[in-house]
Structure 1
Amino acid sequence: MLLCSSAGGGFNLLSPANTANSTRLSSHFVHRNPVSSFSFSFRSSSLHLSENFKSNRDRRWYPIVASSTPVIESTQSSFRTKNPKDINVLVVGSTGYIGNFVVKELVNRGFNVIAIAREKSGIRGRNSKEQTSNELKGANICFSDVTRLDALEKSLRDLDIPIDVVVSCLASRTGGIKDSWKIDYEATKNSLVAGRNRGASHFVLLSAICVQKPLLEFQRAKLKFEAELKEEAGKEDSGFSYSIVRPTAFFKSLGGQVELVKDGKPYVMFGDGKLCSCKPISEQDLASFIADCVLSEDKINQVLPIGGPGNALTPLEQGEILFRLLGKEPNFLKVPIGIMDFAIGILDFLAKFFPAMEDAAEYGKIGRYYAAESMLILDPETGEYSAEKTPSYGNDTLEDFFERVLREGMAGQELGEQTIF
């Protein structure tokens, strides 16, 4: 396990207990694979963010333009011809809910994983460097700041190795307006720019199926980056490709009421509980699918909606599964969706006079969106959500998840800033 840090301006190496099989590539980083398997050429132009994001009220966007930073290019025709141990995969968002599983899956498949992490990671930054290192065992951990392109590029220069693939699991923790553009767009773009400057020829993006119907700020931010990612791959002779993964609901987003219902509280749902439905996917199954995108040629330059196994489930059906597992009579609290509309209207009105209320209004809209919109493919021909057209992947079911939470609790599944109920 090897760690580097540039977020604080310095760069430190913590050597693993056993580095007998390591080869020193620079004075800052020890890498498990010898650099002699690669040859490189340099060119004077590279991707660069021409201006940092300023604020929601000054949202001016700039194209990717040339800079003087050298770009590393592998002379091999494709990283897909290499063995996984010789493929360098950069993972950003590595300590997030899905990113953590993605890192572990990639490590288990034998890839050489470089995980970018904050010095204080996890929900509200409660995890130390040591805790992060323990969570991401097997990966080379580099502490940096993806919201600062200069810091991220310095970290990668200090590593002094090429990058073959970038996997981004970055996502705004709150869904707030400024945070969405800072993370879902700007930081994710930083990872593209920095990765390309180190020779990356493939980018795997964890997006979301809900961007099909963009009514929220984080959806617009994700779509803007998706468009620029496609544009980069579409450049003549770029040798660059992407895989955009758009999952449906995660298990943990549907588990917030399990312990409440177990304690005798009613299961809360909006309307009749049939306003929306989803094909939820487990974190492990999603991580496996994302890892597939690194080498699978049938996933090159594709937008890939993906759900879990089985039929689509409404909130009513989810609640019925939970009550059945508990051996209890169903007890539902049905909340009129109009209540949310009323509250959002008030918050929107207040935000006109008090800009600090903008995020509160946005949070209300997020809750309303998920209460009424299905996490399924939106059929362009009918304008309706289609469970049949939403691909399934994996083996984990929501019922299995509920059973596990009832036995073990929600440890490791905390919603943190994303909590709605």
Structure 2
Amino acid sequence: MGRVFEREVIHLNIADFAAAVESLREPSLRGRPVIIAPAGGQRAGVYDMSEEAYQAGVRKNMPLYQARRRCRDAAVLAPQPQRYAQAMARVVRRVMPYSPLIEPGEMDGHLFVDVTGTGRLHGPARDAARRMARQIQRDLGFCPAWAVAANKLVAKVATRLVKPAGQYLVAPGDEAGFLWPLGLDLIPGISRDDLFRLRELNLMTAGQAAGLSPEQLAVIVGRRAGKIHDAVCGIDYSPVSPAGERPDTVSAACGLGSDTNCVSAAEAVLYRLVEKIGAELRSRNRAARRLVMAIDYADGRCCFRQTTLEPPAADDITLFAVCRRLLHKAWVRRVRLFYVYLACPAPVAFQVQRQLFSDPAGVIATRNSLAGAVDRIRHRFGHDAVRPGRVMVVQP
């Protein structure tokens, strides 16, 4: 038998990535508070911010008008996704010599590298991580935090503790002990709704949640109890995807039966597609950051539209509101429709922020809770046990 290696996963975290890219491009921004937010409206949400703006109280997804009040001397710049994607690609190229298993985030400065079994080539994982960070800083000007652990989840939590530029080593076998005292909001994959339910029972730390059995957790969070129990215990078997591998996509498509120009009928079909995608995302504990729609006209022509969700979402109400706007942007010809395709490329994990500025009234938590309740009813009694009125449309 061949030698079995313990997994060694490096997580690199370039804090405030978009703001860091802009500061490198414009040196006068260094040391100043910087807010990245879409132009054109004070109610636009903050996309990213520098450490100086964070210290002043600015948070991601906070309305821009509120961020300006908290940090009046901040420089406000519009997001440049293409610029951030190019910068992310340059970071990946610096890491590629160390392993073929490299999984970058989506323009967010996060990067997983699986260096299992490469010790004879590159030395211990901690030395490889240190060299990666130094090379990125020397060649590109970024100063990433890094951590080494036995899996992706624990490595990511570790960099959260030491960013913007620290380092952390989690010894193999010490995953549960490392997570034990940490707040549940630091654990990836625990949704806002789950966090609210756990806090209602005074379960604040990973150790407190890990002290419950999966069966006990199921009473609180339902079918996701097993995944959450694994997460708080530091168990994560998900692989690091090979460099260049396309991320998974959640998609659904449906014909309209007969060609139609009835808006309500088209929206009913769209809602069914949203329900399918939303249920699949929630079953994976993922959320949609980007949505792509294609509609086919009866005369054979096709139209594509896409949009980005910030923050990412997985509840049907939010997804349908976004998709409905996409439908009306795509359906601009006075021609009947006969086919609708909807896709969510590269779904992302739920993110729970310490300060939920983006949801002051609890709307997002309520929608997630409702979606979870509908999922549980349908799982027990069948999909047709709950049917929204929107899908029961009779064409004129």
TM-score where L is the length of structure 1: 0.26
Q: Which has the higher strand share?
A: 2
